[in-house]
Amino acid sequence: MTEDSMFDLTGRVACVTGGNGGIGLGMAKAFVNHGASVAVIGRNESKLHSAVNELESLTSPDKVMALQCDVTDRQAVEDTFKQIASQLDGLDILVNNAGVNRRADEPHLLSAEDWQYVIDANLTSIHTATSMAFPYMKQRGRGKIINIGSMMSIFGTAYAPAYAASKGGVVQYTKSCAVAWAKDNVQVNAILPGWIVTEMTNQFKEAFPDRYAMIVGRTPAGRWGEPADLGGTAVFFASSASDFVTGTAVPVDGGYSVW
């Protein structure tokens, strides 16, 4: 196998949840650029339309699709994966990227409803999507599952306890699946993004200038990340280059978590 072919995703079918913007779309673009067929799923129809237009500009339109789906709805996820496998001829790669956050000044102030909403969207949905995707991969005799955690998989935070708990759980769930499915040639790994400029964070600098300066000062790379910065790690985990790598969690944070 040549170095180039190790990262070649030609003939592979990928699904990216929350792939209609931010880091999800950044990873979807990287997959397309390496030859994969890609389905992005999300809840916002207008963002899905915009995302599929961007992806179609990079590849043949018949290799891209976008589907509206709430990942907390088990039946909707099952139906969506059936549609992807039918239209794109199978499923080889799943990126569990969809997620939400709810904040409170301290953990005891977070409502039970907000706690459950975050856990359902960030952790239970990963179990649902992974459980639905695995049979397609087992049938193929190969598969790659990439779970998106966070720096909060490593650090706690007073203002987002449910988010931190869910993202910590993502890492442990990743390890469990990796152990279970190594025999099936399915590798399961996690990416832990740092501070990334997305639609959700692009107002941060103006709203919290002191906090923004602290983050940049602590980050050895000296900047916030861009969605494209996740592409290389995602392609590695999605490709044959990582066939002997499973159960890992890799920070992509410009060195923020080193300190």
Token pair in block for residue 122: 């960030």
Helix runs in the chain, H state only: 3-6, 22-33, 45-56, 74-88, 112-119, 125-140, 161-181, 204-207, 209-218, 231-238
Quickly count: other Cβ atoms within 10 Å of residue 207's Cβ: 9
Half-sphere exposure of 208 (CA within 13 A, CB side): 8
| Catalytic residue numbers, as ranges | 163
Q: Using CA atoms, how far apart are residues 51 and 60, in angstroms rounded to an integer?
A: 14
- Which amino acid, one-letter code, is at 114? D
